[in-house]
Amino acid sequence: MSDSIELATESSSAASAQTPGLWASLREAVRGSRQDFTEGSIGRAILLLAVPMVMEMVLESVFAVVDVFWVSKLGADAVATVGLTESMLSLIYAVAIGLSMAAAAMVARRIGEKDSDGAARAAVQAIGLGIFLALPIGAAGVLLAPKLLAVMGGSPQLVETGHRYTQVVLGGNVVVLLLFLINAVFRGAGDAAIAMRVLWLANIVNLALDPCLIFGLGPFPALGVSGAAVATTSGRALAVLLQLYTLSRGRGRVRIQRQHLQLDPRVMLRLLRVSGNGILQTLIGTASWLGLMKILSTFGSAAIAGYTIGIRIIVFAILPSWGMSNAAATMVGQSLGAKKPERGERAVWIAGLYNMIFLGVLGTLFIVFADPLIRLFTLDPAVAPFAVDCLRFVSYGFVFYAWGMVLTQAFNGAGDTFTPTMMNLFCFWLWEIPLAYLLAKPVGLGPRGVFLAIMIAFSTLAVISLVMFRRGRWKEIRV
């Protein structure tokens, strides 16, 4: 691996002398770059892709934060309604993420092949598939919202006041799926800045409409918690319209024209095959957190609260790493399409090295300053020690996570969603959860055993990913 990193770094350094400086590159990344990512400096290509991808991910997380901020003014039932609905929506997110993996891989491959028509057709099939899957989910959500809330444990009063929120969110799930899917098309094509700007619009609309529709400001009706659902769905719907307009006008690398508007069952089946593993991959990861929560719940609410605070700090802080990982995925897909697998491999080593430096520094800060960081979020003497332990123990593995994240996304970018799915199944279900129980209960480490198991499992995933990546099977995947 060290030889590959050295080769990649030398390649990046040699090219940097002929490329614009850092600030010029950052401006280009935000504005949108027309660079051919199958040529030129790999390091600069990763930067141009990663910056808008990081901002896109941060903006996506803003939806939940804004909604909870305003809804919290309505009381506990309103907040619980949002939480229960988000739990149900997580299944839709899993479908959206799985389809997005397949769409991004297929579009990136076609762009790398310089097949713009093929990229447009792949985008149409992905959009058609998303709509096809969203319609029955939406119908079921509208009709069954009260029963679903009750099954999730909602009180009769919560069901009465909150079911309309759930109806709007689940009924409008098509905009969630399309927003994810079409932004994946942009990312796969190398137009990450367009995906970022789309979420700017969605968030601006949501920020403006949330208080107006919840509390009835000005000419708007006071819809209560349902207003948050209408605001968020409206913001996402307008963002989807902007996406479709951009695709039809050819503002990016993918332009959908009339001749592309025909469903192709063969392409849709390929998308389903690749996305099926991606959906399972996401569900395995999501479900494993529920398993850990079940173990932690035996130690009381303070342990759960501390874990929640610690993990949320970590998840938000590592968003730049996901942007870097998604950039590597795009580079791999386009490089394979251009018949340059060695360029894709070098891009992964460079992205992994950058990610390791970033997460290494971040992990060190979290370990050293865990106490003051947690005090920013809670002063509860029962909760804070658990939060500090979670932040500190999980951070010990940050250097490993850096490589694991990049390598996992590299597989997905190549269209090899099967390999990371199997690795997730082993590392999270067959290794992490049993280990967490063993360390927490028989060994007697309590919640610390769970936190230690998280660190060990993700580090194990990184090592296995490295071994599998070096075998090179991902270079032979066809999408």
Closest-CA residue to 285 (of 35, 135, 457): 457
CA–CA separation, 116 vs 221, rounded Å?
46
Tens-digit pLDDT profile for residues 342-365: 999 999 999 999 999 999 999 999
Q: Specify the pTM.
A: 0.83
- The full length of the chain comes to 479
Helices (H), 338-440: 341-368, 370-375, 384-395, 398-413, 418-424, 433-440
Tens-digit pLDDT profile for residues 251-283: 889 999 999 999 888 888 888 888 888 889 988
CA–CA separation, 22 vs 358, rounded Å?
17
Give percent above pLDDT 70 in the chain: 95
Tens-digit pLDDT profile for residues 69-96: 788 788 878 878 887 888 788 888 888 9
Report residue 64's pLDDT band, with 50, 70 and 90 as the boundaries.
low
What does the pLDDT average to over 214-238? 94
Closest-CA residue to 236 (of 180, 186, 190, 276): 180
What does the pLDDT average to over 217-241? 94
Tens-digit pLDDT profile for residues 294-305: 898 889 878 888
At residue 16, the pLDDT reads: 42
Q: At what angle do helices 225-249 and 192-215 cross, to 10 degrees?
A: 150
